[in-house]
Amino acid sequence: MRPVGERSIFVSGPMGAGKSAVALALAARLGRRHVDLDARIVATSGRSIERIFADGGEPAFRALEARLAEEVLGEESAVVALGGGAVTQTPLRRRLLAEGTLVTLEARTDVLLARVGGGEGRPLLQPDPRRAMESLRARRAAVYAECHGRVDTSDLALGEVVERVASLASEVRVPVPLGEDSYVVEVGEGYRHRLEERVAGYGGVILVADPNTERYRDEPAFEACRVTLDEGEAHKTIDAVARIWDAALAYGVDRRAMVVAVGGGVVGDLTGFAAASLLRGVAFGQVPTTVLSMVDSSVGGKTGFNRSAGKNLVGAFHQPKFVLCDPVVLDTLAPAERIAGLAEVAKAAWLEGEEAVARLERDAEALVRGDRAATITAIESAVRTKARVVALDERESGVRMLLNLGHTVGHGLEAAAGYGALRHGEAVSLGMVAAMRVAMARGRASASAAERMEALLHALGLPVDLDARLGAEVWPYVDADKKRQGDAVRFIVPGEPGQTRVETLPVDEVRRAVER
């Protein structure tokens, strides 16, 4: 993963949005190489684009386009103008999102049409240019929404567009690509102050916060219905959700409302569910204020609350419109609280692979200290991993289960200790140690991988003394795990970094391996 600012910038969007002009001017402004992908296709193949289409049809053209775009990713950082249809290729689009900065330029239909001369000489727009343009935009709405940022160029001068794209490309922004439900996690100092800008345009704002939020609430006050909820698993109940519903209804919301969570994971999950169900669904935004909520509950749209039968047994999938992660607010957390959140960072790195684990090993000490730059990098990395997995499996029917690494036994430990006695992150750390024991017993992981994981968790200040914490009371909770099927559990079995898999195992086998 190249650092932000060293990644190539890909400029996408419909015909007439200004891709070519913006890419050229932006390259000059940043002193970077400029690549026009269509020109490169012509130069490389020695054929005109019309010729390539005539010879092999669209599939031949797209294959060439994908190959050359990926080639650019491996080269020195550039500013690249894409063809309007390039991002319709999902594997290519996802790769550009992961390794480059992908910006969508857009404009109103009348502006687009005027810029392409009313459609003259554009076969794709015949016979009815306006209708063709609108239909094209509707068909591509879901792919253009998957990007690091969008700029509407309708009423901006070229220089202004260039500044906005340059600014987007200089920020830590992680896209969560989910078609028209896509959104961006923005990570940076002071970003909590962007809230006012992000809620502009919605019809009424409901701001739900935990009491800690008072400590750093230095944003300019704006008109909103404010609800304060308690943090902590014990408060993660339908009664807390009902407080949000009723406050919002008393405030007088309609369907144009925006409900914002400012707080940790509990407040985020409760608020997200309230937004999902209020008037059968209104918009939702998040300003997570703990490491755990920045890297975990802010991505993927899982919302909900606990019942006496267990955690998170009721809820909804409801994606936020924006997520603002401001590391400054982490300074107000108790150190143990901040450190517990690093367990999900370690989990994400282990799922991701060698590079992410090595970076985390390098940065562990700085992270424990609360170093700002290391924290931003760690949050970005963990969010990227989670976003990639969620994009593959929004409804958790397959690969998304990998994110439960450390959670099966972890939830058992947390529940057996009584919620609140053991922090979620601490339980996940111990659960990862347990999962590694299962992996070793099944021959999926080496002793050195297990030692490395423990060393990493320990370096991050997380507990690894599993034997001291493990009692027989843990297993009934594992047994009741919601991933249970018959008398087996879907267990997440780690290996070397990047080699984690899901296996269906009898609870007894898990227990024997963990208890050794």
Biggest CA–CA distance in the chain, Å, is: 76
The nearest distance, CB 180 to a copy of itself, in angstroms, is 12
- Looking at beta carbons only, is 121 or 127 nearer to a copy of itself? 127
Q: Among 408, 414, 413, which residue's Cα sits nearest to residue 492?
A: 408
Q: Site for a copy of itself (CB under 8 A): how many residues?
A: 29
- Could you write out the three-class secondary structure of 326-371? CHHHHHHCCHHHHHHCHHHHHHHHHHHCHHHHHHHHHHHHHHHHCC
Catalytic residue among 411, 444, 483, 511: 411
Positions 288 through 347 that interact with a copy of itself (CB under 8 A): 302, 304, 307-310, 313-317
The nearest distance, CB 242 to a copy of itself, in angstroms, is 6
- Does 277 interact with a copy of itself (rule: CB under 8 A)? yes
The nearest distance, CB 378 to a copy of itself, in angstroms, is 28
**Residue 407 annotated to the active site:** yes
Contact 29, 161 (CB under 8 A): no
Positions 465 through 494 that interact with a copy of itself (CB under 8 A): 482, 484-485
Among 138, 157, 250, 447, binds a copy of itself (CB under 8 A): 250
CA distance 273 to 305: 8
**Residue 395 annotated to the active site:** no
- Looking at beta carbons only, is 228 or 237 nearer to a copy of itself? 237
Query: Please, what is the end-to-end C-alpha distance for the chain in angstroms?
Result: 38
- Does 142 interact with a copy of itself (rule: CB under 8 A)? no
The nearest distance, CB 296 to a copy of itself, in angstroms, is 16
> Please, is 317 exposed, middle or buried when counting C-beta atoms within 10 Å of its C-beta (0-12, 13-18, 19+)?
middle
The nearest distance, CB 278 to a copy of itself, in angstroms, is 6
CB atoms within 10 A of CB 313: 12
Q: Among 103, 128, 107, 104, which residue's Cα sits nearest to residue 118?
A: 128
CA distance 462 to 326: 23
Task: Please state the φ and ψ torsions of residue 95, each to the nearest 5 degrees.
Answer: -70, -40
- E strand map for 128-197: 149-152, 172-176, 183-187
Catalytic residue among 311, 321, 400, 452: 400
- Does 254 interact with a copy of itself (rule: CB under 8 A)? yes
**CA torsion through residues 45, 51, 53, 54, sign:** negative
- Looking at beta carbons only, is 221 or 250 nearer to a copy of itself? 250
**CA torsion through residues 411, 412, 413, 414, sign:** positive
- Looking at beta carbons only, is 194 or 243 nearer to a copy of itself? 243
The nearest distance, CB 221 to a copy of itself, in angstroms, is 24
Q: Among 434, 452, 444, which residue's Cα sits nearest to residue 495?
A: 444
Task: Please state the φ and ψ torsions of residue 495, each to the nearest 5 degrees.
Answer: -145, -135
**Residue 50 annotated to the active site:** no
CB atoms within 10 A of CB 480: 14
Among 114, 242, 421, 455, binds a copy of itself (CB under 8 A): 242
The crossing angle, in degrees rounded to 10, of helices 372-392 and 354-369 is 140
- Does 246 interact with a copy of itself (rule: CB under 8 A)? yes
The nearest distance, CB 495 to a copy of itself, in angstroms, is 27
- Does 138 interact with a copy of itself (rule: CB under 8 A)? no
The nearest distance, CB 316 to a copy of itself, in angstroms, is 6
Contacts of 507 (CB under 8 A, 6+ apart): 475, 478, 479, 487, 488, 489
**Residue 193 annotated to the active site:** no
- Does 350 interact with a copy of itself (rule: CB under 8 A)? no
The site string for a copy of itself over 434-453 (x = CB under 8 A, - otherwise) reads --------------------
- Looking at beta carbons only, is 67 or 482 nearer to a copy of itself? 482
- Looking at beta carbons only, is 238 or 441 nearer to a copy of itself? 238
Sheet strands side by side (includes 488-493):
484-485, 488-493, 501-506
**Residue 280 annotated to the active site:** yes
Residue that the structure tokens 């997570």 belong to? 288
- Does 206 interact with a copy of itself (rule: CB under 8 A)? no
Catalytic residue among 146, 337, 344, 352: 344
- Looking at beta carbons only, is 46 or 486 nearer to a copy of itself? 486
Positions 360 through 399 that interact with a copy of itself (CB under 8 A): 395
- Does 276 interact with a copy of itself (rule: CB under 8 A)? yes
- What are the residues binding a copy of itself (CB under 8 A)? 238, 242, 245-246, 249-250, 254, 273, 276-281, 302, 304, 307-310, 313-317, 395, 482, 484-485
Active centre residues (catalytic): 280, 302, 344, 386, 396, 400, 404, 407, 411, 424
